[in-house]
Amino acid sequence: MSLRVLLVEDDRELRMMLRDALAVEGYEVHTAASLSEGLALLGGLAARSGRSADTGTDLVLLDLGLPDGDGEALLAALRQRHAIPLIVISAREGDGQKIHLLDAGADDYLVKPFSIGELLARMRVALRHRGTAVAPAVTTYQRGPLSIDLAAHEVRLHGAAVHLTPTEFKLLARLVRTAGQVVTHRQLLADVWGPECTEQTHYLRLYMAQLRAKLESDPADPQLLLTEPGVGYRLAD
Amino acid sequence: MKLHASDSFELRGVLPASAVWAFGWGAMLALDGRLDLANIAMVLVLASALATLWLPISLSLLLTALSVAAFNWLFVPPRHTFAVDLRQDALLLAAMLGVSWIVAGVVTRQRMLASRARHHARQAEQLRSLTEALRDADDPLQRGGLLRDALAEVLGQAPKLLLLRDTMPSSDQPSAVVVIGDPDDHERSGLWHCMRQGHAFGPGTGRHADLPEWYLPLRGRGSAFGAAFVRLNLAERADDALRTQAQALCDQMGLVLQRALHARAASVAREQAQAQGVRNALLAAISHDYRTPLATIMGAASSLVEQGERLSVEQRRHRAQTIVDESVQLSRLTDNTLQLARLDAPGVQLQLDWESAEEIVGAVLRRVRSRDVQHRVHARLEPGLPLVRCDALLLTQMLENLVDNALKYSAAPAPVEIVVRRQAGCVVLAVRDRGSGVAAAWRERIFDAFQRGERCGAGLDDQARRGAGVGLAVCRAVARAHGGELKLRPRAHGGSSFECWLPEQAPPPCADAEGGIAQPAESRP
C-alpha cells in the first residue's frame, strides 16, 4: 500500500506540480486548497480508515498562508491527537517563525522556493521518524567513518573508540535520535541541560565545537554535525 | 540697567553746572569796575549757555532768571536795588534774559535730539545683536534665552516665553512648545491665545487695555511662532516706545523661528525627494537584475514547450537544469532584496545570539558547495576565536553573498578563502579572492545598491558579473546593523579582500549549571 500524503497548498500551480511529482514517486496524494478543506480531509480520511488512532494519512505537507486562515491552526489541531509527520512549506523565511513552528511540533520546515529533490529527502527523513512515540526509537547511526550505538554507549570513528564527556554524549545522542531532522536550540538545551537552560545557547556552541573537533575531519567544514543558522542543528542523514 | 530713555533730571549734571555758575560769578565779581557793564553781562550769558549743557531746561531758565536779577542787584546802578536808572541798562537786562533763555531752549532741544538719536541707536544695536546671535544659532529654539535677556534689558525684568517647536498644533499641547520662565496656568493660556491670534494684548495695544501686563506675539510672516508675557508697572503701561521695541525684539525671534521651520521643512522635503530618487534607482537596478535570469528561464522553458519533441534528451536536461539554476539565482536575489529593505527600515530588530564563527562559516561552506563544483572555497579560522554576538542568519547571508561574488569575479581555479581572525578588538570575517580586483574609483561605490563594477573585471563576461549590486549593499547593511563595517581591501598580489569587522564583545558568563556544563577544557583529551 502506498503512503498517503495530505498536501495543503492554496497556489494551484504549485499544488498540481507537487501532486504530480509526488505521484510519480509512488505517493497517494490528497490535496486541499484551504484550511477548512484540509481539516475536513483529515477528518474524512480518518473516518474512512476506520481506526480511531489513525488519521488515514501518513504525512502532511502544510502551507501557512491559506485563504481562510493560517496553516498553524491545522498543525495545532493535528498535534492534539496525532504524531504523524508534518512538514511546513512556506514562503515565510524568518527564523523566529521557523523555530516557533518546529517547537510547536512541525517535523521540518522548507522555505519556498525549494527543489523536489530536497522535499523528497525531507519527507523520507520525516517518515523514517514516523510514530517515534510507538515505534522503537532510533539507537544506532552509521555514516561514513562514524558509527554510533547509543544502547552500548559507544562512538567509533574509523573503527576507533572516541571518548566523549557525559554532556557531549547526551548532546550527540539527542541528535542521533532524530538524525536528519532539525532540532532547535531550545529543544536541545531543554533535553540535554534541562528546561531552565533554554536561553544558554553559548553552551551549545561550545559543546558542538568540541563534538566537531572530535568527530569531524575538518571542523570548519562539517559534514555530520550541521548548523541551521539561527534555528538549530541537524545530524546529517 | 534700564535702557529705555529718560531726558529727566540727572544728578550728575548738577556738579559741572554749579562749577560753571560759580566760575562765572567769580569772574563777574572780579571784573567789576575794570570793564563796563555790557561786557560783564556777556560773562553771565556765557555762563548761562554753558550751564544749560548739563541742566534740565526748567532749572536752566530759573537759574538764568535768578542770575539776571542778581546781576541787576549787584552791578546795575543804582546798585543793591532792583531799580534801573538807565533805559539802556533795562534793555541790556532784557536782552541778557532773552538771549540766555533762547540759548537754553536751543541747547536743550539739541540735547534731546541727540539723546533720542543715541536711544534709537542703542535699540537698533540691540536688535542687531539679537538678530546676529540668533542667526548664528543652529537651532533657534534652544536660544530662547537670548530673547529673554534682550527683553529683560529693555523692560528691567525677565519675561516669560512660549516658543513654537513646529507647526501650530490643533490643541494647546505642552509638547508642541518650548516654555521659558515657568508661567502659571493663566499666563500659559494667555500666551497660547496670543500666539494663536498673532496680536499683542495689554495696555496701548488696543486689545484688553485694562490688563496689567503685555502679551506680545513672536510674529513671523503671516502668523506667530510664540509669545512673550511681561508684567508692567504703571509708568511702563503708557510707554509706547518701550512696547514698540519689545515687540520688535519679539518679531525678530518670530522671523528666525519661522525661517528655521521653513529650513527644516525644506530639508525634509529634500531628503524625501532624495530617498525617492534612491528608491527609484534601486527599483530600476533590481528589475534589471531580475530580468536577466527571467529571460534565461523564459528562453529555456519556452524552448522545452515548443521544441520539446525535437530536442535530444541531453538538450532537454540541459534546458531544465538552466531553469533550476536561474531560479536559484532569482531566489537569492529576492532574499537579498528583501533583506536590504528590512535592514534599511528604521528600528530594525536583529535576532542576536552568541554564535560561533566556525559554525557560521561551516553553514556557508555547505550552502555554496553546490555552486562551487571545483571546490575553490576554503575556510581558515584562527584557533580560540571568541563567540560573536550576532544574527547568525544575517551573517550567513552576508558571507554567502561575498563568497558568491568572489566566485563570480575571479576565474577558476583561483581559490576563494574565508578567513576569520581577531584584530584590534574586532573579529574580522574576510572573504578573499584572486580576481582582477576592484578599480580604486569603484571601491566605495561598489557598495551602493544600484552600482555594479561594470568597468572592472574585463575578461569576465557580463553574465558572470550580474547581481553583485544588491548583494554587496546587503553585506554592508548587515555589517553596519551589527555595529561593524564592511571594508574592501585590495590584496598585494591581485584580488580583493572583503572584510567584515565586528567589534568583539565580552563573552557571556559560562556558569556551570548543575545540568553538567563544564569548563570547555575539561573534555579536551
Three-class DSSP category at B456: coil
Mutate to test the interface with B, among A172, A205, A228 (most CBs of B within 10 A): A205
Contact A165 B518 (CB under 8 A): yes
Task: Give the whole-angstrom CA distance, residue B421 versus residue B427.
Answer: 6
Asked if A10 and A34 touch (Cβ cutoff 8 Å), the reply is: yes
Contact A167 B358 (CB under 8 A): no
Q: How far is A233 from chain B (nearest CA, A)?
A: 10
Task: Give the whole-angstrom CA distance, residue B4 versus residue B1.
Answer: 9
The reply to whether ipTM tops 0.85 is: no
Q: What is the pLDDT of residue B3?
A: 45
Q: What is the pLDDT of residue A1?
A: 63
From chain A, pick out residues whose CB is under 8 angstroms from the CB of B520: 206-207, 209-210
Asked if A61 and A8 touch (Cβ cutoff 8 Å), the reply is: yes
Contact B393 A229 (CB under 8 A): yes
Three-class DSSP category at B300: helix
Three-class DSSP category at B382: coil
Question: In Å, what is the CA distance from A195 to each residue of A73, A187, A188, A233?
Answer: 26, 9, 10, 18
Task: Give the whole-angstrom CA distance, residue B330 versus residue B316.
Answer: 21
| Below-70 pLDDT ranges, chain A | 1, 46-55, 130-137
Q: How far is B398 from chain A (nearest CA, A)?
A: 12
Query: What residue type is assigned to position A141 of the chain?
Result: Y
Query: What residue type is assigned to position B267 of the chain?
Result: S
The residue in chain B having the minimum alpha-carbon distance to the alpha carbon of residue A116 is B324
Q: How far is B465 from chain A (nearest CA, A)?
A: 23
Q: For the purposes of burial, counting CB atoms within 10 Å of the CB of B336, is it exposed (0-12), middle (13-18) or buried (19 or more)? A: buried
Query: What residue type is assigned to position B256 of the chain?
Result: V
From chain A, pick out residues whose CB is under 8 angstroms from the CB of B324: 115
Q: How far is A80 from chain B (nearest CA, A)?
A: 30
Select from A167, A170, A209 the Cβ nearest to the Cβ of B518.
A167
Answer whether B382 touches A (CB < 8 Å).
no
Question: In Å, what is the CA distance from B147 to each residue of A191, B176, B193, B253, B347?
Answer: 69, 19, 20, 7, 38
Q: What is the pLDDT of residue B162?
A: 87
Contact B354 A202 (CB under 8 A): yes
Answer whether B325 touches A (CB < 8 Å).
no
- Residue A101 CB contacts under 8 Å (≥ 6 apart), including other chains: A72, A75, A88, A109
Contact B520 A95 (CB under 8 A): no
Asked if B217 and B195 touch (Cβ cutoff 8 Å), the reply is: yes
The residue in chain A having the minimum alpha-carbon distance to the alpha carbon of residue B396 is A229
Answer whether B329 touches A (CB < 8 Å).
no
Task: Give the whole-angstrom CA distance, residue B4 versus residue B112.
Answer: 14
Which residue is associated with the grid cell 555547505?
B366
From chain B, pick out residues whose CB is under 8 angstroms from the CB of A111: none
Q: What is the 3-state secondary structure (H, E, C) of chain A?
A: CCCEEEEECCCHHHHHHHHHHHHHCCCEEEEECCHHHHHHHHHHHHHHHCCCCCCCCCEEEEECEECCEECHHHHHHHHHHCCCCEEEEECCCCHHHHHHHHHCCCCEEEECCCCHHHHHHHHHHHHHCCCCCCCCCCCEEEECCEEEECCCCEEEECCEECCCCHHHHHHHHHHHHCCCCEEEHHHHHHHHCCHHHCCCHHHHHHHHHHHHHHHCCCCCCCCCEEEECCCEEEECC
- Distance between terminal CA atoms of chain B? 87
From chain B, pick out residues whose CB is under 8 angstroms from the CB of A227: 359-360, 362-363, 392
From chain A, pick out residues whose CB is under 8 angstroms from the CB of B360: 227, 229
Answer whether B156 touches A (CB < 8 Å).
no
How do beta strands A140-143 and A146-149 pair?
antiparallel
Q: What is the pLDDT of residue A55?
A: 65
Q: What are phi and psi of A59, to 5 degrees?
A: -160, 145
Region of residue B200 (left: phi > 0; alpha: psi -120 to 50; beta: else): beta
Query: What residue type is assigned to position B481 of the chain?
Result: A
From chain B, pick out residues whose CB is under 8 angstroms from the CB of A93: 335
How do beta strands A59-63 and A86-90 pair?
parallel
- What is chain B's pLDDT, residue by residue, as a tens digit (525 residues)? 444 444 445 567 788 888 998 999 899 888 888 888 888 888 888 998 888 888 888 888 888 899 889 888 888 888 888 888 888 888 888 998 899 899 888 988 998 899 889 988 988 888 888 888 887 777 777 788 888 888 888 888 888 888 888 888 888 888 888 888 888 888 888 889 999 888 888 888 888 888 888 899 988 888 888 999 988 887 777 778 888 888 888 888 888 888 888 888 898 998 888 888 777 777 777 787 788 889 889 999 999 999 888 889 999 999 999 999 889 888 888 888 888 888 877 777 888 889 999 999 999 999 898 888 889 999 999 998 999 999 998 999 999 999 988 988 888 888 999 999 999 999 999 999 998 888 887 777 788 765 544 444 444 444 334 445 678 888 988 999 899 999 999 998 888 999 999 999 887 776 544 344 444 444 443
Among residues B81, B64, B77, B59, which one has the least CA distance to residue B25? B64
Select from A96, A115, A167 the Cβ nearest to the Cβ of B516.
A167
The residue in chain B having the minimum alpha-carbon distance to the alpha carbon of residue A111 is B331
Cis peptide before B78 (omega within 30 of 0): yes
Task: Give the whole-angstrom CA distance, residue B279 versus residue B339.
Answer: 15
Contact B365 A220 (CB under 8 A): yes
Contact A210 B518 (CB under 8 A): no
Task: Give the whole-angstrom CA distance, residue A99 versus residue A85.
Answer: 17
From chain B, pick out residues whose CB is under 8 angstroms from the CB of A222: 362, 366
Three-class DSSP category at B7: coil
Sequence length of chain B is 525
Select from A95, A168, A202 the Cβ nearest to the Cβ of B510.
A202
Contact A167 B517 (CB under 8 A): yes
Cβ count near B244 (within 10 Å)? 12
Answer whether B320 touches A (CB < 8 Å).
no
Q: What is the pLDDT of residue A136?
A: 57
Q: How far is B361 from chain A (nearest CA, A)?
A: 7
Contact B392 A115 (CB under 8 A): no
How do beta strands A160-161 and A182-184 pair?
unpaired
Q: For the purposes of burial, counting CB atoms within 10 Å of the CB of A205, is it exposed (0-12), middle (13-18) or buried (19 or more)? A: buried
Burial pattern B425-452, b for ≥16 Cβ within 10 A else e, equals ebbbbbbbbbbbbbeeebbeebbbbbbb
Answer whether B433 touches A (CB < 8 Å).
no
Grid cell for residue B276: 525617492
Q: Rounded to 5 degrees, what angle do the CA atoms A211, A214, A218 make?
A: 95
Task: Give the whole-angstrom CA distance, residue B430 versus residue B487.
Answer: 9
Angle subtended by helix axes B87-136 and B57-74, to nearest 10 = 160
Three-class DSSP category at B172: coil
Mutate to test the interface with B, among A200, A216, A225, A233 (most CBs of B within 10 A): A200
Task: Give the whole-angstrom CA distance, residue A36 versus residue A33.
Answer: 9
The residues that bridge with B320 in the sheet, in sequence order, are none
Q: Rounded to 5 degrees, what angle do the CA atoms B287, B289, B293 make?
A: 110
Answer whether B525 touches A (CB < 8 Å).
yes
